[in-house]
Amino acid sequence: MTDDRERSGRAVPSTRLSRIGAFGRLAGGLAGGMMAEGARRMASGERPSMRDLALTPRNVGRVADQLAHLRGAAMKLGQMISMDAGDMLPAELSAIMARLRERAQHMPPAQLQAVLAREWGSDWRRRFRHFEAHPMAAASIGQVHRATLPDGRVLAIKVQYPGVAASIDADVDNVLTLLRVSGLVPRELDVAPLLAEAKRQLHEEADYVREGEQLRRFGQLLADDRRYVVPGFEPEFSTRGVLAMEYVEGRPVEALVDAPQEVRDTAMRALIALVLAELFDFGWMQTDPNFANYRWQDGAAGDNGRLVLLDFGAARPVEPSTRDAYAALLRTGLAGDRDGAREAAVASGFLGAAAVAGHRALIDRMIDIVIAELGRPGAFDFGDRAFVGVLREQAMEMAADRSTWHIPPIETLFVQRKISGTAMLAARLGARVDVRAMLEARSLLTAPVA
C-alpha cells in the first residue's frame, strides 16, 4: 500500500530549528533502541559492543527513514556511505543504507509553489505551456519536473529543496555526531579534513549555477562522441536554486538488468570508457556514481545505443598526482607485481603505512586475489562476485584493528567513489567487459601517463 505522504509529498524541514529537532529525535530513538537491545542481549548472557547495538536492522532503518525525510546533506551522506563502502559494509548496514538511493520523498505542492515563486516570480506559470506538478524524480538535494515551453520544447527542471544549502555544515556535523555516538567512527581518527571537503563538495552540488557550467563543459567534451548524450543547458530558466536543461528520453540504466547481454556490455563499456577519459584525458570527473545519474537510449539499426548523462553537480578537477597514482596502481596490479602494487597503494595514500606494518600478510593476500581476478585474459565478468566475499572477510579482519584506520587523500577518495560505483553498476547488470584491453589500448600497462 502506498503511504498518503508519498503520494502528496512530505515537506522538507527547512529551518535550522526544525532540522536540529529532527536530529534530536533521531538520536533519542537510537539511544532508546540501543539500550533496549543491550538489555535484551545482556539478559541472554552476551556482552555486545556499542557497534553491535548500533547496527541492528531496526536502528539502521530508523536512521535511513529520518535521513530520507531530512534530505539535503544528511541524506546525501547516507547515500555516499552506501555507494563508497560498497561490498565492504556489513550486510545489514549495506542493505538498509542502500534504500536511501531510491526513497527520497518529494515536496508537497504548496512548498514547491513557494520555492518556484521565490526563484522565478509569482507569475512563473505563464512562462510554460504546461508544468507537471508531480516530479519525475526526487533525490537528496532536489527534485525534477518536466515542463513544456510555449514553442513546444520540453525541459527537465531541477528544483532544490528549501533550506538545503544553508543546512549543509550543520547536517554534516550532526551525522558525524551520530556516527561517533554509535561507535562506528573511532574518536582517535582525525576526520576533520574529510568533513571539510565533504562540506565543500556539498556546497558545490547545491550551487546550480556551477552545475550549469559543468553541464556545458561536459557537453563540449563529449559533443563528438556518439556513445553519450548530454542534455543542453537552458540558462533562461536557471538560477542558483533551479537548473533547467533539455529533456532527454531514456530508460533507467538499472532497467538493463533484463536486457540482452550485448546491450548490458555495451552500456558498461561506454561508462568505463568515460571514467577512463575523465581520469586520463579530461582531467575532470563527475564523481557521483549514483545509478540515477545515467539513462539509456536503445539504438536503432546499426546503432548500439547511447548513455544519457544527467547530473554534474559533483564534477571536479582530477589532479595530475591522482591520475599518476592510478596509472601506477593499474600498471603494477595488472602486471601481477604484488610488491609494486602494495608500494604504489602506499605511495598514493590508498593504504596507510601502519596497516601494511601490522597486516602485511593479509594485505598481500587481498592484492593477490585482485591480481588473479583482473589478470584473466578476455572480458572481465563483473557479475561473478565470488571473490568479493573473501575480500570482505579479510577487509573486516583488518578493519577490526582501529589503530590502523587510515583516510586516503581527499582527491583519491572522490575518484575512487566514481570507480567503485561504476563497478557496482557493472555487477548489478552482470556486464562482461574486456577492461584490460581498454587499458592496453591506452598503453597504461607499460608506460606512465604523459
pLDDT tens digits, 333-343: 888 899 999 99
Q: Tell me what pLDDT residue 141 has.
A: 80
Q: Tell me what pLDDT residue 6 has.
A: 46
pLDDT tens digits, 93-124: 555 555 555 555 678 899 999 999 999 999 99
- Please state, in angstroms and rounded to a whole number, the distance separating the CA atoms of residues 199 and 178: 17
Q: Tell me what pLDDT residue 84 has.
A: 43
> What DSSP letter does each residue of 150-182 carry, written as one string?
TTS-EEEEEEEPTTHHHHHHHHHHHHHHHHHHT
Cell of 304: 548500439
List the single range of 34-48, 161-175, 197-211 with lowest mean pLDDT.
Answer: 34-48
Closest CA to 348 of 372, 374, 319, 368: 319
> Can you give the pTM of this predicted structure?
0.78
User: What is the enclosing helix (H) or strand (E) of 332?
Assistant: helix 320-334
**Maximum mean pLDDT: which of 55-64, 310-319, 373-382:** 310-319
Q: Provide mean pLDDT across the span 268-289.
A: 95
- Please state, in angstroms and rounded to a whole number, the distance separating the CA atoms of residues 178 and 309: 34
User: What is the enclosing helix (H) or strand (E) of 203?
Assistant: helix 192-205
Domain locations in the chain as residue ranges:
4-106+163-204, 250-450
Q: Which of 171, 265, 288, 311 is catalytic?
A: 288
Q: In which band, very low, low, confident or very high, does the pLDDT at 273 lie, cut at 50, 70 and 90?
A: very high
Q: Is 288 tagged catalytic?
A: yes
Q: In which band, very low, low, confident or very high, does the pLDDT at 267 lie, cut at 50, 70 and 90?
A: very high
Cell of 185: 567512527
Closest CA to 431 of 382, 385, 373: 382
Cell of 95: 542493505
pLDDT tens digits, 205-238: 889 999 999 999 999 999 999 999 999 999 999 9
Task: Report DSSP state, residue 132.
Answer: -
Q: In which band, very low, low, confident or very high, does the pLDDT at 5 lie, cut at 50, 70 and 90?
A: very low
Q: In which band, very low, low, confident or very high, does the pLDDT at 2 lie, cut at 50, 70 and 90?
A: very low
- Please state, in angstroms and rounded to a whole number, the distance separating the CA atoms of residues 394 and 392: 5
378 contacts 434 by C-beta, under 8 angstroms: yes
**Maximum mean pLDDT: which of 35-39, 42-46, 121-125, 352-356:** 121-125
Closest CA to 402 of 89, 187, 173: 187
313 contacts 141 by C-beta, under 8 angstroms: yes
> What DSSP letter does each residue of 248-303 carry, written as one string?
---EEGGGGGGS-HHHHHHHHHHHHHHHHHIIIIISEEE----GGGEEEE---TT-
Q: Tell me what pLDDT residue 301 has.
A: 57
Q: Provide mean pLDDT across the span 57-79.
A: 55
Q: Tell me what pLDDT residue 398 has.
A: 77
Q: How does the average pLDDT of the chain come out, rounded?
A: 79
pLDDT tens digits, 166-200: 878 877 777 676 666 655 555 656 667 777 877 88
